[in-house]
Amino acid sequence: MFAARPMAKVNLTLEVGPLGDDGYHTLTSIFLRIGLADLIALKLTAGGAADRVVVSGLPGAPIEENIVLRALAALRERAGLPLPPVEIELEKRVPVAAGLGGGSSDAAAALKLAQACWGVGVAASDEMTLAARLGSDVPFFVADAEVALVEGRGEAVRPLRSVGGNAGLLLATAPTTLSTRAVFARHDALSEQGSRPEASLSEDLAIALESGLIGQELCGWAGRLRDANDLWPAAAELAPLLPALRDELEKRTGRPWLLSGSGPTLFALYPSAPDAAEAGRVLVDRRPASLDGALIHAVDLIGPDPIWRHP
Ligand code: C5P
């Protein structure tokens, strides 16, 4: 049995460039790995002819079309060998299709675990190519960086110096579904191509991280980062409960709340995970109706489990 705890991410920035001929946009994004993880275990199957995945935990993850099965198929094709079928047990603890990269992280873990199980190894560059084909967020997780500047359509990952002294995040995943593809399409409809200013907050933050940013200092960036996700207007339009939820969260916590990926997870930065957990407790104690159905997690950057969650 080969097992791992694939961790999630948030995007501290997400600058969306032009749409390419391949149907993908050029991105510039700071990815931050967070201490919230699924459980994945992989073993050779005793019988059966095909790979199989058994999914438990939070709802919403596909079974037949699960990205971990696509990862196995891609690896088998790349290896060019008749590798035996495997069974994967996947316990979803990261909210599914939430902008947290849970499925992408599972796929990256599956690539690594299957190589160990089958006793094959693909070159690091081939692994990144496979990862990029599986999904735009997968290369970040294959690179195994705590924080990185991610460019291209996701395949160019530049690891950055880790945030010093840990940090806390309070995550609120709104009870709504948002398709990444639909959010990008809406973004295109809303924006005039080429209207985005050249100055890049991602690059400013990358420089600050490289000079040794600590968690508390990162909180000081939150006001600027709040509007550094270019997908916000599109996500807010497709899921009208998001702007109302963000207003409420900001009013109640006195902090800026950021959108991760294409949503619908919002998050705030805290100097420590206990601070984030305390803020979460205060928030749910007052039972605001706008939080009905939301999943709330207080996490640090280490995990693999959250410090606190609700419900
Ligand atoms: O790569 P992934 O499967 O995560 O992408 C989902 C969808 O998001 C794509 O089909 C595309 O519409 C959009 N996307 C994009 N540009 C990117 C990444 C994703 O337009 N760089």
Q: Is the CB of 310 under 6 A from ligand 1?
A: no
Separation of 270 CA from ligand 1 center, angstroms? 30
Question: Closest Cα to atom 9, ligand 1: which residue?
Answer: 181
Q: Is the CB of 181 under 6 A from ligand 1?
A: yes
Exposure letters 238-275 (e unless 16+ CB within 10 A, then b): bbeebeebbebbeeebebbbbbbbbbbbbbbbbbbbeb
Give the pLDDT score at 104. 98
Give the pLDDT score at 300. 98
* Local mean pLDDT, 10-residue blocks, the chain (311 residues): 97 95 95 98 88 95 92 95 94 97 98 97 95 97 98 97 96 95 96 63 97 96 97 97 96 97 98 97 89 95 97 94
Q: Is the CB of 18 under 6 A from ligand 1?
A: no
pTM: 0.96
Separation of 188 CA from ligand 1 center, angstroms? 12
Give the pLDDT score at 82. 86
Give the pLDDT score at 288. 80
